[in-house]
Amino acid sequence: MFYIAKFLVFMAMKIAFSMKLVGKENIPKNTTVIFASNHRTNADPPLISCGLKGKHSFMAKEELFRNKFFGWLIKNLGAFPVSRGKGDSAVLDKAVENLENGRNLMIFPEGTRSKDGKVHRGHSGAAVIAARSGKPIVPVGIVFGEKLKFRTKITINYGEPIYPEDYVEVCDTPNPRQLVKLKNRYMADIKALVEGPPQLEEISEESEKESGNE
């Protein structure tokens, strides 16, 4: 059923938009991965996955499952519900379980859709999942104009993989400070994939901030 739903959505995306996938060679083979992406629209999960092989999963707010047809569709595309205001330990457990069972995970660290197309502050959920599962993070940048319309040109940029063991001890209870370093790395990569490499003055400002914090 997953592949039927994926094919139907893929065909709809091909008709609706002009898509270009860049950097697919960066995606590690022979392992599941965590796709950490900027968030523009509700179409982001199929945009990221429809041109890729394998099964995928992603988090979706539980309200989206109330519509029977839409709930059936996203469930068969790998969505699992997230309840607002409740603890997220079960959600993290489900994400890790999916990775271990052969499903890639798509996650949007900003937590909400960007209204101006820029990459905003991110959360550490992807870092926690990577630290607990040991799976690499592939940063993703979804790029298009101000609004998503019929035949909009969309570029999906896949960055180089980030391996959690380079930043944090892989275990069930990772160090919070190490998680922040991992989060900062994938958020910087996502920003570069969307907005371009940082300018020299931005790098200088960041270096000054880091020096002041030491």
What is the structure's pLDDT at 211?
47
Low-confidence ranges of the chain (pLDDT < 50): 203, 210-211, 214
Long-range contacts, stretch 174-178, CB < 8 angstroms, 24+ apart: 174/127, 174/128, 174/131, 174/132, 178/131
pLDDT score at 210: 47
The per-residue pLDDT for 23 is 97
Strand residues in the chain grouped as ranges (E): 18-22, 34-37, 55-61, 79-82, 103-107, 137-143, 153-158
Q: What are the backbone angles phi and psi of residue 157, rounded to the nearest 5°?
A: -100, 125
- Parse the chain into domains and list their residue ranges: 2-213
Domain topology for 2-213: Glycerol-3-phosphate (1)-acyltransferase (3.40.1130)
Instruction: Read off the pLDDT of residues 43-88 as tens digits, 9 standing for 90 and up.
Output: 899 899 988 888 999 988 888 888 888 888 888 888 998 876 555 6
- For residue 100, the model assigns a pLDDT of 96
Type of residue numbered 122 = G
* Rounded-to-integer distance, Cα 200 and Cα 167, Å: 25
- What pLDDT score does 63 carry? 87
Do 136 and 2 contact (CB within 8 A), yes or no? Answer: no
Q: Which two tokens stand for residue 123?
A: 């959360």
Confidence (pLDDT) at 15: 93
Nearest-angstrom CA–CA distance, 213 and 87: 32
Residue at token pair 């958020």? 187
